[in-house]
Amino acid sequence: MQLNWSDDDLAFQAEVREFLDNELTPDLRAATAGMTSVYAPPHIALAWQKKLHAKGWVAPSWPVADGGCDWSVARRYIFARETTMAGAPPLSPMGLGMCGPVLLHYGSEAQKQRFLPPMLAGDEFWCQGYSEPNSGSDLASLQMKAERDGDDFICTGAKIWTTHAHHADWIFCLVRTSRLQKPQLGITFLLIDMKSPGVTVRPIISLSGEHVQNQVMFDGVRVPAANVVGQIDDGWTVAKYLMEFERGGHAYAPGMVQRVATLQRHLAEAQLPVTMNGRIAGLRMEIEALDALELQFNAGLSNGAAPGPMASALKILGTELSQRLTELEVEAALPYAPAYQPHLTLPGGAVPDYTAPTDGQGQTWGVGPAWAAKALPKYFNDRAGSIYAGTNEIQRGILWQYLARRNS
C-alpha cells in the first residue's frame, strides 16, 4: 500500500494552503474555534461556501460538467484535511453531500438543471427528512404518507431531528407511497418545498440549549410528482445510495488532532495534573491510529475499492473517540465548565430565552476562558455522534454480518 503523496498532490496541497491563507478570514477561523455543534450556523457555513463557490471548489467529488471539481480521492482527502486543520467552518452536508450526489446519480436532467446550481451557490438551503417520531434506526418502518392525486402527491405525516429545518428552503424526504409485502418497498424519495402550505416546523431545543433540530409536520402538503427522484416505490434504493455519502469518506482524525493540541496547550497554561496529560497522550495515540486507518481507507478508494464495512468501522471509531475527547475537555475546563455561557461560544443555532450578562456599559462578560465555556455544550452535542448517520449499534451489526459471511 502506497500512502505517499505524488508531486502533483503535493503541489495541490500547497495551492490549497495558499487559498486558505488568503480567504479564511480571522472571523471565520474564530467562529470555527467556538463551535459547540458538528454543524456551523447557516450564516457562517454559507459565508464560507460562497468563497469556495467563487473558487470553483465547493463540490470536490461532483463532475466538472455539473459544477464540481471531479477530484481524485487523494485530492479530496487532502482538501478535507487541510481545510479542517486550518480551521475552516464545515459546510452543511444535506445539500452538497447528500441530496446533490443523489440527484447526480438518479435525478432527471430537468431536476439537475433546477436544483444543482442554487445548491452549489448556496442560494437554496437543504435539510433531510428521514427519521420520524416512531421510525429512527428502523427507517423502513416510516409512516409519512404520500398519496397520488393526479400530477401531485398529497403528503401527511411528520419528520423529526431535522437539522436546520427552520432555515431550509427544501427538504428531501422518504415517504410511503404504497404498502407492499416488504417494508423497504413502497417508499419514495421526494423533494418538498419548505414554503408549501401545510408545512410546519416545530423547534427541538438540545441539552446544550441550541435550536438546531426540529420536528417538521406535513398536513396535506401538495407536492408535484415531478419532484420524485428515481422510481416511485423504489426510494429505498435511492436512500441506500445516499447513506454511502453520509457514512463514508469523512475524515474524523484531523479535527481531533487539532482539538487535542489545543487542549494540551490549555493544560500547560493552567498547569493541570500530569495524570491528565498521560490520559490525553493515550487518547492521542488512538486518534493517530484512526488517522492511519483513514489514510488506508482512502488509499483503497483510490484503487477502486468499495467503502464496504470499513466505513462503519471508521464511523464507530471516529464518533466514540470524539466523545471520549469531550469528556477530557470537560474535566480540563473545571471549575468553569458547569457555567452556562453560550455567548462565549458559537452554538449551531439560536439559544432561545438566554440573555448574556452585561456590565453597566452594555458589554458582555463571562466567567473563565472561552475554551472552558465551550467544553460542556460540546460534550452534550457529541452524545448524538454515535446515533446519527446510523447508530453505532447498527454499524456493529453491519460489521458482524460482514465477518460472519467472510468466515462462513
**Tens-digit pLDDT profile for residues 324-338:** 999 999 999 989 999
Report the amino acid identity of residue 140. Answer: A
What local confidence, expressed as pLDDT, does residue 245 receive? 60
Question: Which residues on adjacent β-strands are paired with residue 127?
Answer: 171
Among positive and negative, which fits the CA dihedral 360, 364, 370, 373? positive
Instruction: Report which of 184, 163, 161, 182 is spatially closest to residue 174, judged by C-alpha positions.
Output: 184
The CATH fold assigned to 248-407 is Butyryl-CoA Dehydrogenase, subunit A; domain 3 (1.20.140)
User: Cβ–Cβ contacts within 10 Å for residue 197, how many?
Assistant: 9
On whether the CB atoms of residues 146 and 185 are closer than 8 A, the answer is no
On whether the CB atoms of residues 34 and 87 are closer than 8 A, the answer is: no
pLDDT of residue 274: 66
Helix axes 235-247 and 308-333, enclosed angle (nearest 10): 50
pLDDT at 1: 44
Ranges in the chain, pLDDT < 50 = 1, 248
CA 68 → CA 16, 18, 49, 180, 242, distances in Å? Answer: 16, 20, 13, 38, 18
**Residue of 177, 173, 154, 176 whose CA lies nearest to 162:** 173
- All three cell numbers of 114, joined, read 433546477
126-245 shares its CATH topology with 248-407? no
Separation in Å, CA 52 to CA 16, 48, 55, 95, 115: 11, 6, 5, 15, 18
Task: Check residue 3 and give its pLDDT.
Answer: 58
CATH architecture of the region 126-245: Beta Barrel (2.40)
Which cell goes with 326?
A: 469531550
Alpha-carbon distance 94 to 103, whole Å?
12
Residues sharing a CB contact under 8 Å with residue 54, sequence separation 6 or more, in sequence order? none
d(CA 57, CA 51): 9
pLDDT value of position 249: 52
What is the predicted pLDDT for the residue at 297? 86
Helix or strand holding residue 208 (H, E): none
Which pairing describes strands 126-129 and 170-176: parallel, antiparallel, or unpaired?
Answer: parallel
Instruction: Tell me the domain boundaries of the chain.
Output: 7-91, 126-245, 248-407
Cβ partners under 8 Å of residue 112, min gap 6: 66, 103, 104
pTM of full prediction above 0.85: yes
CA neighbor of 229 nearest in space, from 314, 294, 153, 293: 153
Q: CA-CA distance, 227 to 76, in Å (whole number)?
A: 30
pLDDT tens digit sequence for 158-203: 999 999 999 999 999 999 999 988 889 999 999 999 999 999 999 9
Q: What local confidence, expressed as pLDDT, does residue 273 receive?
A: 66
The predicted pLDDT at position 265 comes to 87
Encoded amino acid at 136, one letter: G
